[in-house]
Structure 1
Amino acid sequence: MKHSSVENFVIFVALLFLYIQTSAQGYLKAETFKGADLYADVVQYVKFGIHRTGTEGDNKTSEWIKGILDKNGFSTEYVPFPVEQFFPEKTSLEIGGKSLEIFPVWPVKEANFSINAPLAEANKDLTGISGKIVWINQQSKERSFSFMDEDNAAFIKKIIDGGAKAIVLVTDNAAGEIAAINTLPGVSYPIHVVQVAPKDVRNLTESNAVLTVKGTLKNVTARNIQGTIGSGTKTVIISTPISGWFTCGGERGPGVATFNALAKWVAEKKLPYKFIFTGNSGHELALHQGTHIFLHEKAPKPADVRLWVHLGASFATFAYTKSDHGLTRETKADTNRIVYFAGDVENSVSQAFGKIDIKKAKDKAYGELVVAQKQGYSPFIGFVGTASFLLFHTKLDDASATSPELLEEMANAIKQVIEFELAKDKI
C-alpha cells in the first residue's frame, strides 16, 4: 500500500515525536536519583561497621568510594594522615554489683586501666572530690556535654585540679543512650574521662565503684578519598564526611549516598567545570581533622572555586518523638534539618527546596564548612541535621534512620540546586 507525500510526512512527524518523547523519558529517568539505589548505599555503608577514623570500617568505606569514582572516570587518590586511635575491648563501671556500659572520651589517655574509688557527684563548689570518681549530671548542672567546647573543657579541668581520680559524664540524650563526644584540637586530659548513658544515671550512687577500660592504642594511617574529573577553569567541590563514632546510618549515610550519586551524575553530564569530590575522614577528631588536611594540602584557592557543596550530617532522617515508652519513629522527615548557604545562591536554594520542609540559614556555615568559610570559600551550600535527630552519635543510628523516599527527595533537590546555580554561568 502506497502513501501520499502528505501521509508520509504525517507518519514521519508522528514517529519523530514518539522518538523524542521516548528519548526524553529515558533522559529524565537517567536524571533522577532513585531512592532504592541511594538506600542500598546507606545499607552498604552501615555494613562496613564502626566508622571511627582510621579503623577497618573507615578504610573499607574509602576503598568502596574510590572504586565508584574510578569506575566513573575520576582521577583518584588517598590523602593520608596519622592518627593515634583507641580500639576498645572491654569498658565498664561497676557499682554495687551492677555493671554499667561506658564509653571513653577521646583522646584516651591509657589503653588499660582499672580504678577502684568512691563515686561522688560534682557539687556546685567542686569540693570534697579529691581521690574520687566524679560524675557530672548535665541535667542538674545545666551544662551540656553533647559537644565538647572550651567552656566544658575548662570545667573538666577544674574537677581535675580538685583531685578527682576519674570523671564520668552523663550526656543528655533523649534515646537514653551514650552519645559520643567529638574532640577539640589540642585538648586532652591527664586523668580518665568516660561517658555513661543517661538511662543509667539512677545507678550512680554514693558508693565505691570500679572503672575499667581495656583496649589498645595504635598509631594508624587515616585517609581522605579524593576524586577529580573535568577541566574547566572554575572548580566545584563536593564534600562529605565519611567517619563517625559508630555505624552512623542516619548521620553519615545520606551524605555518602548522595555523594556517590552526584559523582555518577557529574561523570555522565560532562559539565564544563573541574569537579573535586572529597570524602573526608577524621570528622569526629580535632574539629574535623580530615577537612583541615584537605584545605591544607589539596583544595584550590577560594578565588578558583565556583561552588562548594557540603553533604553534612543527618539531612534525610526520620523525625522521632519521645514518650514514657521510649522513642517512636514517625513517618515523616525531621523538619529541623537545615540547608545553609552563602553568596548569591539564595534563588537557587529557594527553587530547589521550595516544596521541601527544611530550615534555611543564609550567610551561615555549620560543621565542617565552618572551616572552609573561615578561609574565604564562597559561594557554598551545605546540609546538616540538628540535635532533634535523637539517634545522633549513638549505637542505635543505623540504616533504619532513613528511607528510600527521604533520600530520593533530598538527593534530587541537592542535584537541582547545583543545576540551578551553574545554569547562571555563560559557558
Structure 2
Amino acid sequence: MTRSTRRSVIKAMALTPALPIAAQAHPAGPTRDAIAADLDRYVGFGNKASGGPGDTACGAWIEQQLKQAGAQTERQAFSVPFFSPRRTELVSGAARAAVLPLAIVMPTGGSGLTGKLVRVEPGLVPASGLSGALVMVELPYARWSSALARPVAETVRAVAAAGAAAVLLVTNGPTGEAIALNADGNKAMVDVPAAILAPRAAAPFRALAQAGEAATLFLEGDAGRREAFNIAGRWRRGGAGTLVVSTPRSGWTICAGERGPGLVTWLALARWAGAALPRHDLLFLCNSGHEYENLGSEHALDALAPLPERTALWLHLGANVAARDWHEPGAGRLLPLPSADPQRFLAVGADLLPLAKRVFAGLPGLEMAYPASAGAAGELSTILAAGHRRVAGIFGAHRYHHVEGDDARCVSPDFVAPVIAACKALILGATA
C-alpha cells in the first residue's frame, strides 16, 4: 500500500453529506471526573519516548487497568532506538539554540561538527556548494509529523548525497517550536548527523547563512537500543469473530493532546466492552514504538492480531482523537478555544460509512467519515496494509503535535466524552 500523509489523505476522498443522527441516544459513558482522572494520569507520566521511564510506567498502568476490567494480559517486547542527550545545540559566536536530534541519531561527539551554514528549500538542492556544510532545510509551514514525508525525506537524502556534513531541519509550523519527526526504527535515514531547529530560534542562523558564516553542531549523548513493549488484553469467548481496539501510547514528548484522548477513549471502551459484547472475542492493543514509524504496531500485527477474516471490526484510535483547538493570531502565538481541533480524520471500511456518519454526526472533523480505501495515516495504514478491511480509525495532527508544548493545556474531558459515546455506538452497530 502506498504510504499516505495526513496532508495528502483527503485528496482521493469523495465528499458526501452526513446522514441524520440516530434517534436513540448514545450508550452511557464514564463521568467527566473519571475521564479527567485518566487524562491526568496519562499526562503525569511525562515524556513517553519508547522504552523510557514514562512509556514503561504508562504501560504498567495500562496493564493493571486491563486486568481490573477482566482481561487476560500479555506483554510483547521488542527493541527500539534511544538517545540520551548530554548536549544538543547549534552554536555560532553569540548565537546559540537547542536542537532536537533526528532519529536514528548519528552523534557528533563532544567536539561537535563545524561547517559553513547553507540554506536550502525542499526540492531546490543545488548540485554543488554543499560539501562539508551544515545545511539548513527550510520546511514549509505545516503540522509536520514524519521524516519520511516526501518533502523531508527526499531533501535530506539529496543534501547528504551532495556532501553535507550535517542536516538541520527548520520545521515551520503553528507553535514556532521544533517539531519532532517520526523516523525509521531500524536504520538511520542518512549517515550524517541530522537535527531539528525551532523556527523561533532560526533567525540568527538564517542571517549567518546569508553571510556565509560557520557554525558548530553538537549532538552529544548515549545512543543505542533498549526494550519497549506492547500490551494486549484479551477476552476469549470463542464467538462471532474478534473486536480489536488499538491505540499507541508512546511519542516524542508528553503527548497530552496527541495520545491522551485516544488512550483514555481506549480505556473507556476496554472497561465497557467486556460486558457489552458477550458474543465476541475482544483484543485491546496498546502499542509502544509509535514514533519509529509504527514499529510496535507492526510487531503486534505479526504476532498478536487475528487474521482479517476473523476480525469483526478493528477500531484504531490514533493521534488527535480529541485535542484542543486554538486560534492562530500569528507569530507563533496561540489562543485556546473551548472546542476540539477539527483537523482529525475518520476513515472506515466502505460498508461502515453510513453508520459512521450517523454516530459521529456533530463532532467536528469526525462527522465527515471517509472510505479507508482512499488512504490513511499512522498505524491505521499498517492495519490496512495487513489486509484488514472491516476497520475504523481516527487520526490527525493538532497544533501542538510532536512539540514540547503538548501538555495538559491541550486536553479536556469535555472533548473526549462525545468521542467515547460515538465509538461505543459504532462498535455496537458494526457488531450487531
TM-score normalised by length of structure 1: 0.86
* Residues 1:89 and 1:49: Cα distance change in structure 2 (over 3 Å): farther
CA contact (8 A) 1:224 1:278 kept: yes
1:136 aligns with 2:137: yes
What is the aligned partner in structure 1 of residue 423 from structure 2? 414
CA contact (8 A) 2:114 2:215 kept: yes
What is the aligned partner in structure 1 of residue 7 from structure 2? none
Picking from 230, 252, 256, the partner of 1:249 is 256
Question: Percent identity of the aligned residues?
Answer: 28
Paired residue secondary structure (2:351): coil
For 2:335, give the aligned amino acid: T
Separation in structure 1 between the aligned mates of residue 246 and residue 108 of structure 2, nearest angstrom = 33
Separation in structure 2 between the aligned mates of residue 243 and residue 362 of structure 1, nearest angstrom = 27
CA contact (8 A) 1:238 1:277 kept: yes
What is the aligned partner in structure 2 of residue 100 from structure 1? 97
Greater radius of gyration (CA): 1
What is the aligned partner in structure 1 of residue 370 from structure 2? 361
Deviation readout 1:43-73 (Å, 9 max, x if unpaired):
2111111111111111111100000011121
1:381 aligns with 2:425: no
Separation in structure 2 between the aligned mates of residue 124 and residue 154 of structure 1, nearest angstrom = 10
Please report how far the alpha carbon of residue 157 of structure 1 lies from its aligned counterpart in structure 2 after TM superposition.
2.3
What is the aligned partner in structure 1 of residue 115 from structure 2? 117
What is the aligned partner in structure 1 of residue 267 from structure 2? 260
Please report how far the alpha carbon of residue 336 of structure 1 lies from its aligned counterpart in structure 2 after TM superposition.
2.7
Please report how far the alpha carbon of residue 328 of structure 1 lies from its aligned counterpart in structure 2 after TM superposition.
1.0
What is the aligned partner in structure 1 of residue 282 from structure 2? 275
The structure with higher relative contact order (CA 8 Å, sep 6+) is 2
Paired residue secondary structure (2:258): coil
What is the aligned partner in structure 1 of residue 37 from structure 2? 40
* Residues 1:98 and 1:380: Cα distance change in structure 2 (over 3 Å): same
Q: Which moved more, 1:45-54 or 1:106-115?
A: 106-115
* Residues 1:112 and 1:48: Cα distance change in structure 2 (over 3 Å): farther
1:90 aligns with 2:84: no
For 1:329, give the aligned amino acid: P
Runs of 5+ in structure 1 lacking a partner? 1-27
Please report how far the alpha carbon of residue 144 of structure 1 lies from its aligned counterpart in structure 2 after TM superposition.
9.3
Picking from 385, 391, 395, the partner of 2:400 is 391
Paired residue secondary structure (1:31): coil
Q: Which moved more, 1:166-175 or 1:154-163?
A: 154-163
Separation in structure 1 between the aligned mates of residue 335 and residue 415 of structure 2, nearest angstrom = 17
What is the aligned partner in structure 2 of residue 79 from structure 1? 76
Q: Which moved more, 1:74-83 or 1:358-367?
A: 358-367
Please report how far the alpha carbon of residue 127 of structure 1 lies from its aligned counterpart in structure 2 after TM superposition.
2.4
User: Runs in 1 of length 4+ with deviation above 4 angstroms?
Assistant: 142-146
1:224 aligns with 2:230: yes
CA contact (8 A) 2:108 2:193 kept: no
Question: Cα RMSD (Å) of the superposition?
Answer: 2.1
Paired residue secondary structure (2:257): coil
Separation in structure 2 between the aligned mates of residue 29 and residue 382 of structure 1, nearest angstrom = 19
Please report how far the alpha carbon of residue 174 of structure 1 lies from its aligned counterpart in structure 2 after TM superposition.
1.3
CA contact (8 A) 1:337 1:383 kept: yes
Deviation readout 1:120-158 (Å, 9 max, x if unpaired):
21364242221221111124xx99965323743332222
CA contact (8 A) 2:145 2:402 kept: no
Runs of 5+ in structure 2 lacking a partner? 1-24
Superposed counterparts of 1:63-78, under 5 Å: 63-78=60-75
For 1:319, give the aligned amino acid: D
CA contact (8 A) 1:177 1:394 kept: yes
For 2:390, give the aligned amino acid: P
Please report how far the alpha carbon of residue 310 of structure 1 lies from its aligned counterpart in structure 2 after TM superposition.
0.4
Picking from 293, 299, 302, the partner of 1:296 is 302
* Residues 1:30 and 1:162: Cα distance change in structure 2 (over 3 Å): closer
CA contact (8 A) 2:144 2:179 kept: no
* Residues 1:147 and 1:421: Cα distance change in structure 2 (over 3 Å): same
For 2:298, give the aligned amino acid: H
What is the aligned partner in structure 2 of residue 25 from structure 1? none
CA contact (8 A) 2:256 2:407 kept: yes
Deviation readout 1:168-214 (Å, 9 max, x if unpaired):
11012110001111113644321100000011221111322121122
CA contact (8 A) 2:166 2:193 kept: yes
What is the aligned partner in structure 2 of residue 194 from structure 1? 195
Deviation readout 1:265-319 (Å, 9 max, x if unpaired):
112335210000000111110x200111011111111100000000111121121
Please report how far the alpha carbon of residue 255 of structure 1 lies from its aligned counterpart in structure 2 after TM superposition.
0.9
Separation in structure 2 between the aligned mates of residue 362 and residue 146 of structure 1, nearest angstrom = 22
Separation in structure 1 between the aligned mates of residue 388 and residue 98 of structure 2, nearest angstrom = 42
CA contact (8 A) 1:111 1:217 kept: no
Separation in structure 1 between the aligned mates of residue 420 and residue 289 of structure 2, nearest angstrom = 24
Separation in structure 2 between the aligned mates of residue 254 and residue 173 of structure 1, nearest angstrom = 22
